[in-house]
Structure 1
Amino acid sequence: MQVLRKFIRYYRPYRWMFYTDTLCALTICVIDLAFPQILNVLTHGLYTRGREAILPALAWIGAGLLAMYILRYFCQYYITTWGHVMGARMESDMRQDLFDHYQRLSFSYYDRNNTGVMMAKLISDLFDISELAHHGPENLIISTLKIVGAFTILMFINFKMTLILIAVTLVMAVFSYRKNRKMRAIFLDNRKKIAGVNAQVQDSLSGIRVVKSFANEEIEREKFADCNGRFLTSKVSSYKLMGVFHAGNGFFQGLLYISILVSGGYFVAQGTLAASELAIYALYVGIFLNPIEVLINFTEQFQKGYSGFRRFTEVVETQPEIEDSPDARPLGRITGEIELDDVSFSYTPENPVLEHVSLTIPAGKTIALVGPSGGGKTTLCSLIPRFYDVTGGAVKIDGNDVRDVTGKSLRSAIGIVQQEVYLFGGTLRENIAYGRPGATDEEIVEAAKRANIHDFIMSLPEGYDTSAGERGTRLSGGQKQRISIARVFLKNPAILILDEATSALDNDSERHIQAALEQLASGRTTVVIAHRLSTIRKADEIVVIANHGIAERGTHSELLERNGIYAKYYYMQFEGLE
């Protein structure tokens, strides 16, 4: 019932379409129920009065029935067209809500979940919801009214025959209920298995260059065949259950017809039922059985839509771990001073990453973080824009605890250049403008010039309108990095975080990018994570992160004189060169 209430909420924006659709469904139901009764009245009334009475009335009867079925035509058109439009709009609203919620979820959610599975929930899981949203209420209303209406009329025609009909129908209902419970579980398993297929496809295709470089296409085929086979097994199980379900209900419908013919023949022989009444009775049994068959077929549709909606609600009810507090305020203009006040952080209680780290970075200064991989440098930088919340202490910017300001204003004040650059599918102009949507062409060009990428862009046949390709595959690592630097120039933040921005580049690319980064860092508070120690010699202070905290700190020359961890790393890199 909780799931149903959540589902009903999506009808509210389209309630008048829903009311009209329901009214049309009721009209069709009344017309379908009326025809056998009209036939019954005519055969027992007008058609027994002779030629003189019948012929003049035929034109009126035909006109009345024609008007009735023209009305039915328009009602059916509305149901088929606008009823489906209503369902499609509801599906679109759900998909938008799910995507919006994905945007609100914290990094920790993405750390735990596979992108392919999330895409399955966004696309395929909601596919059947449109049909359920449209046909669900319509089928329930029409079928219920037809069953109740036909059953009431059958009771008036012959009470005893109808009791036999009820007995067979009850057995069929018990059979359907038990199979329906099993179908619910199997359809939910179908959803999970196809999500696994999507996840495997996404993983293999995203890493296709690695796959081919290791000539491991066969391994990927086997991995896909495995998850594809599990999905097939789940589908086969569902089809077997559906086969038993539909065949069983078809058998019970046959029993209903047998009971009517046998009991009807008995009552005709006894003289308690006229042959014409048996014919009318058979017509109403057809009306009685048709909605039952509709409900049986609807069960499969319902279970598919229900399982998809359940997986949808699982995501939208996931609370983001990072949210603005109710009294959060905009950060406003800042100078860029960063303070880590006794900061501790851990992804799990058993594995602390940082413990009691205290560090102040004056506005406009450059601080470099060095240390072993996995020591917590990137994590520390992720705490500044509040991608994760500290488990102890506080991170402050200009004296403001980052938990007390809005996330949008906080991240608008921080620019990040990462080692792994992500470019969106679109033009180079659009990718640079991502730093400040709405920027003019002149501002985009100026940012590209400052990032030393303008001349390269202009050498391309389409210039700034050149497609970057999927994830920037048409550009080299250095070119992608300079596009990302241009983004940050356009954003013009007060605080800059450089996360190993040049570590994956060749020496020539590094030289150009290092020059761009130095210009970018000018006048900004800058935090640099670097493994190439040659790039941080000019930093105002170097902080060595090791053993969950600050192991050393000082200038380049001071740390070399101390002959500690930093000196060890430095001499390892430059042994034989200096």
Structure 2
Amino acid sequence: MDSVASGGGMRGGGTRPGRVSSGDARAQKAANADAPRIPDLFRRIRGLFAPHRRALVVTVILVFVGAAISVLPPLLTKQAFDRGLFPSGGPDVPVLLELVGAMIGLWVLSAGIGVWQTYLTATVGNTVMGSLRIRLFGHLQRMELAFFTRTKTGVIQSRLQNDVGGVANVLSNTISSVLGNTVTVIAAFVSMLVLSWQMTVVTVILLPLLVVAQRRVGQVRARIATRTQESLSDMTAITQEALSVSGILLAKSFNQQRAEVERYSAENRTQIGLQVRQQMSGQWFFAVVQIFLSVIPAVIYLVAAWLILRDVPVTAGTIVAFTTVQARLTFPLMGLLRVALDLQTSGALFARIFEYLDLHPAISDDGSARRVDESALGRVEFDDVSFSYPDAEPGQRTLDGVSFDIEPGRFAAFVGPSGAGKTTVSYLIPRFYEASGGAVRFAGTDVRDLQHESLIEHIGIVSQETYLFHATIGENLRYARPDATDEQLVAAARQANIHETISSFPDGYDTVVGERGYRLSGGEKQRIAIARVLLKDPAVLVLDEATSALDTVSERVVQDALDTAARGRTTIAIAHRLSTVRHADVIFVVDAGRIVERGSHDELVARGGVYAGLYGQQASAAR
């Protein structure tokens, strides 16, 4: 759920979504008041442990052995009292030494089994948690672009970190806790029955009420846990937005640091309240349980006196052993009740994780998908293509009946007013979005019939918003080709007119560029992005407003690099500045989702249509 269910997305010619409004956020929280309903949730949770059956079997054996051992010392305590300390004729020291030695041996053995058991459960639990995190991350990598345009990055991060992390302790401790405590409780009850069935009845008569109360408390905690995770998602999203370099620059530019602190503080207050509620939701319950279990020994003394007055044989050793067993029953019984509450709470977190895992990518390969035919590389065709963004109003089309054919090695440009649909063309070629109608063909084959990885292998994209990782220049370049040699890096950088600049840095190609490349100028970032694409060496190059954000000097340098990159390959340029595409082989003029003109620069100017008007306006503005 989170922002996944919201309709925010990209429309028209690539309009970027803004922040979610406070009204949307309130509606979102209301919609997430309860955990998402996931069919067969606990069956699916059990399935996570299936690959670890051998370790689990060993754990179960250790739990049973440990639980059995834990019950023996109280029984030996009875023998120590009746046979060692208070037999007829005075204490029997040899017998007492044997019994004490046996008890010490059992405690040492129990401790060793506990260490082994802890290692197994910790290994299994953390391995399952790690696998779940990788599985979720991999699944999100396969989601279509539209998913990420309508979902906050911080919300996605929260699912990976907070939700998966929130179930870590449950995964690590549930097996041993449930099995061990259950066996211990059962063994303790058996021991108590052997010692005195009458006192056992008094001990267990109120336990069913505790179980009912525990279920009610667990339901409340599960609902609070879901709201807590939603709040953590919001806090993560705020942190990701406000503390990124872009967010800090924005806040400082508009003097909104206090507003950002208040926005975070408000969500932090919500989080504090939810955490307190979650902690307190079971405290009264456990307080009552603690009082109940603590009072039982005193009641047992009264029951023992009542039995003795009625000539029922009850020895001092029986009373001491019984109260010892009952005391040992307290911790496992409390542990079982706590685990039951934790399972109900973690069920809400698992539901949020499985909710993401159950999302089906809108764009995926079918069983018949094939690799790109390399004999026809470079040809790109649109055949009566129409397209509407997922959140568009009914009947609202971003592209409407668009058709064109670009020959291999040709330079084609798409120009037109903002919002006309130019950027959408660049999204449909690599199949980041699926055409609503018609067909997009690459190398003569409908892109829906191609393996997506094979399609992307042959397409290079340079966008207006260049993204560089917080890593070295060399590592950013090798993102396109991990096995590239240093010589290949230099060759690509030279083609992109950036090698001399990189060499001037003290660390050269080992220079760390900072988050999103903020240590570099706009022109430097763009040329590194071009070098990265050149290292990939694609058959088709897509340039989406690659120079629109640059100054005139930087634009000229970057344009030279783009001209070099375009040689020998099909180039598709989405352009706002018409001066950058004057030498294109063919220019397509897009207006209101349709191609209204096509031809060379000179032909379109001579025609006196839309292109001529746009060119005249830009020429006048440049004077």
Q: TM-score range by the shorter chain?
A: over 0.9
State which of 202, 211, 214 in structure 2 corresponds to 1:173: 211
Closer/same/farther in 2, CA of residues 55 and 236 from structure 1, 3 Å limit: closer
State which of 377, 386, 398 in structure 2 corresponds to 1:335: 377
- Greater RCO, CA 8 A, separation 6+: 2
Please tell me the residue identity of whatever aligns with 1:160. Answer: Q
Give yes or no for contact 1:413–1:493 (8 Å, CA) kept in 2. Answer: yes
Q: Distance in 1 between matches of 2:543 and 2:321?
A: 83
Q: Distance in 2 between matches of 1:38 and 1:361?
A: 90
Q: Distance in 2 between matches of 1:552 and 1:56?
A: 108
Cα deviation, 1:65-100, whole Å, max 9, x if unaligned, reads 343223212111112334223222221111111111
Q: Secondary structure at the match of 2:282?
A: helix
Question: Match for residue 34 of structure 1?
Answer: 72
Cα deviation, 1:160-198, whole Å, max 9, x if unaligned, reads 332332221111111111111111111111111111111
Which is worse superposed, 391-400 or 226-235?
A: 226-235
| TM-fit CA distance, 1:50 | 6.1
Give yes or no for contact 1:365–1:524 (8 Å, CA) kept in 2. Answer: yes
Q: Secondary structure at the match of 2:490?
A: helix
Question: Match for residue 361 of structure 1?
Answer: 406
Closer/same/farther in 2, CA of residues 419 and 191 from structure 1, 3 Å limit: same
Give yes or no for contact 1:496–1:526 (8 Å, CA) kept in 2. Answer: yes
Whether 2:315 is the aligned partner of 1:270: answer no
Give yes or no for contact 1:172–1:252 (8 Å, CA) kept in 2. Answer: no
Please tell me the residue identity of whatever aligns with 2:389. Answer: Y
- Counting only pairs closer than 5 Å after superposition, residues 236-315 of structure 1 correspond to structure 2 as 236-276=276-316, 277-315=318-356
Question: Match for residue 16 of structure 1?
Answer: 54
Q: Distance in 2 between matches of 1:16 and 1:419?
A: 53
Whether 2:263 is the aligned partner of 1:218: answer no
Q: Secondary structure at the match of 1:352?
A: coil
Whether 2:171 is the aligned partner of 1:133: answer yes
| TM-fit CA distance, 1:223 | 1.2
Q: Distance in 1 between matches of 2:185 and 2:242?
A: 52
| TM-fit CA distance, 1:275 | 4.6
Compute the TM-score of the two structures, normalised by the length of structure 1: 0.95
Whether 2:359 is the aligned partner of 1:318: answer yes
Question: Match for residue 584 of structure 2?
Answer: 539
Q: Distance in 1 between matches of 2:84 and 2:275?
A: 56
User: Identity over aligned residues, as a percent?
Assistant: 34
Give yes or no for contact 2:413–2:588 (8 Å, CA) kept in 1. Answer: yes
Give yes or no for contact 1:168–1:255 (8 Å, CA) kept in 2. Answer: no
Give yes or no for contact 2:415–2:587 (8 Å, CA) kept in 1. Answer: yes
Give yes or no for contact 1:168–1:256 (8 Å, CA) kept in 2. Answer: no
Whether 2:434 is the aligned partner of 1:389: answer yes
| TM-fit CA distance, 1:409 | 0.8
Question: Match for residue 117 of structure 2?
Answer: 79
Closer/same/farther in 2, CA of residues 338 and 148 from structure 1, 3 Å limit: same
Question: Match for residue 195 of structure 1?
Answer: 233
Give yes or no for contact 2:218–2:345 (8 Å, CA) kept in 1. Answer: no
Which is worse superposed, 348-357 or 179-188?
A: 348-357
Closer/same/farther in 2, CA of residues 263 and 67 from structure 1, 3 Å limit: closer
Closer/same/farther in 2, CA of residues 51 and 261 from structure 1, 3 Å limit: closer
Give yes or no for contact 1:370–1:545 (8 Å, CA) kept in 2. Answer: yes
Please tell me the residue identity of whatever aligns with 1:250. Answer: Q
Closer/same/farther in 2, CA of residues 261 and 372 from structure 1, 3 Å limit: farther
Q: Secondary structure at the match of 1:360?
A: strand
| TM-fit CA distance, 1:264 | 3.2
| TM-fit CA distance, 1:317 | 1.5
| TM-fit CA distance, 1:227 | 1.5
Whether 2:108 is the aligned partner of 1:108: answer no
The alignment yields a C-alpha RMSD, in angstroms, of 2.1
Question: Match for residue 508 of structure 1?
Answer: 553
Question: Match for residue 248 of structure 2?
Answer: 208
Whether 2:267 is the aligned partner of 1:227: answer yes
Q: Distance in 2 between matches of 1:252 and 1:152?
A: 20
| Aligned pairs, number | 578
Provide structure 1 residue ranges, at least 5 long, that are not aligned to the other structure: none
Give yes or no for contact 1:452–1:512 (8 Å, CA) kept in 2. Answer: yes
State which of 139, 146, 150 in structure 1 corresponds to 2:184: 146
Closer/same/farther in 2, CA of residues 509 and 68 from structure 1, 3 Å limit: same
| TM-fit CA distance, 1:53 | 9.8
Please tell me the residue identity of whatever aligns with 2:371. Answer: P
Which is worse superposed, 347-356 or 333-342?
A: 347-356
Whether 2:531 is the aligned partner of 1:486: answer yes
Cα deviation, 1:500-546, whole Å, max 9, x if unaligned, reads 00000011111011011011111211110111011111111111111
Question: Match for residue 344 of structure 1?
Answer: 386
Cα deviation, 1:5-26, whole Å, max 9, x if unaligned, reads 2222332333332222222222
Q: Distance in 1 between matches of 2:101 and 2:108?
A: 10
| TM-fit CA distance, 1:59 | 5.0
Q: Distance in 2 between matches of 1:51 and 1:97?
A: 70
Cα deviation, 1:362-400, whole Å, max 9, x if unaligned, reads 111111111122221111111110111111111111211
| TM-fit CA distance, 1:46 | 6.3
Please tell me the residue identity of whatever aligns with 2:606. Answer: E
Q: Distance in 2 between matches of 1:304 and 1:509?
A: 56
| TM-fit CA distance, 1:488 | 0.8
Compute the TM-score of the two structures, normalised by the length of structure 2: 0.88
Please tell me the residue identity of whatever aligns with 1:293. Answer: M
- Counting only pairs closer than 5 Å after superposition, residues 47-126 of structure 1 correspond to structure 2 as 54-126=92-164
Q: Distance in 2 between matches of 1:336 and 1:125?
A: 45
Q: Distance in 2 between matches of 1:114 and 1:271?
A: 74
Give yes or no for contact 1:496–1:527 (8 Å, CA) kept in 2. Answer: yes
Q: Distance in 2 between matches of 1:365 and 1:466?
A: 36
| TM-fit CA distance, 1:441 | 0.7
Cα deviation, 1:203-246, whole Å, max 9, x if unaligned, reads 11121111111111111112111221221222232233132232
